[in-house]
Structure 1
Amino acid sequence: MSAEFEQLVAEFEKFQSKIKKVDDQLADLGQMQNAVAELEGMAVSADRSVTVVAGPGGALKDIQLTDKAMEQQPKALAAALLSTVQQAVADAARKQAAIVEEHMGSGLGLSDRVVESQAQLFGKDPEQFRAEVAEGQPRTRSAEEEHHDDYSEQSVFDDADDRGKQAPPPPASGSSAGDAFLQNLFDNDDRR
């Protein structure tokens, strides 16, 4: 009977150690959630006129503009804002991945995958981007660099040779823009 009792005690101790392990994991999960909730990613534009702070999941927490930012042309300011927001959100995502790896183990390779995805998103070589991240803040693109990405005045239907040409004037008749659009649509179909 003593051997059975010792076996039951051993099984009970194993059960208790598993419960403690689960409790420790849940406590660690709570710490991870708190760390993620408090994280902030920050980016500053190349000319230092725009500062953006992002939180977990890309939530914007703060945007600060200097007087220099307010002196910029609207398109340049919009480009600086967009680029800086993207960099701040990317910084927050990298920090979030690092927190998850710290609590769940680095065997996931999560931080590396995030950096590789961001390098691809920003159109950079992964190793170059990784080096920029290691140095601190990846360089944001200037308004001039962003300008080539501005498609606001380009039509998806235009050829590259047609850029810069003005659109034909609206019809002189009293018809609406919707009528003109439909007429153009049907005229284009008839030409095919």
Structure 2
Amino acid sequence: MRGQIFDPAARTRARLRTLESRAKDRAEAEAVAVGVAETVGLAGARGAAFEGPASPGRPYRRQAGLDWLARKGRITDAQKRAGERYGALYRRAAREGAIRSTLDVRPGGGGPAGPGAREEVLLMAAEGSAQATARLAAMRARLWDQADLVSACDLVCGRELTPREAVASEREVGRIEALLGVALDVLAGEGRDRS
């Protein structure tokens, strides 16, 4: 071995450092796995539903309320589609009140896209939110503005909570599922009325 010095003690130290590093990495990976399992367990106890990892090392995927209900066979495909429409409008309308950053807007319209391009994008976004708010109000009117039906849709479709996450007691889970079923039947009928 030309240019290398054979030092058994140095070689042993390097090997021990490598083994120590691997042991630390393994211990850290085990601690992370325990932490993830604990977090998933606690969220599950609060009513969240998770889809387990497809293979080791893959992340857990939280299930939205509608997905969980559909997977359990508690709502039909038509009800799920109606709930997804309601949820998309709910989330889009909820963004309307959010204060948006204006750091990218340049007074006077300077920028690569030309004068007024950024302002036009902001106006289009505001228009889309306003349309979503109006369509959401129409869907709520279709539910006769009944507070319980609207609340069930807001929680499960809009905020994407499972029924167990949405209410405080087990007794209320059945009630919110029943209310949601009625609301989604009414909203699913909306699509058939237009055809």
TM-score range, shorter chain: under 0.3
Larger radius of gyration: 1
Where is the strand percentage greater, Structure 1 or Structure 2? Answer: 1
TM-score (norm 1): 0.27
Query: TM-score, normalising length from structure 2?
Result: 0.27
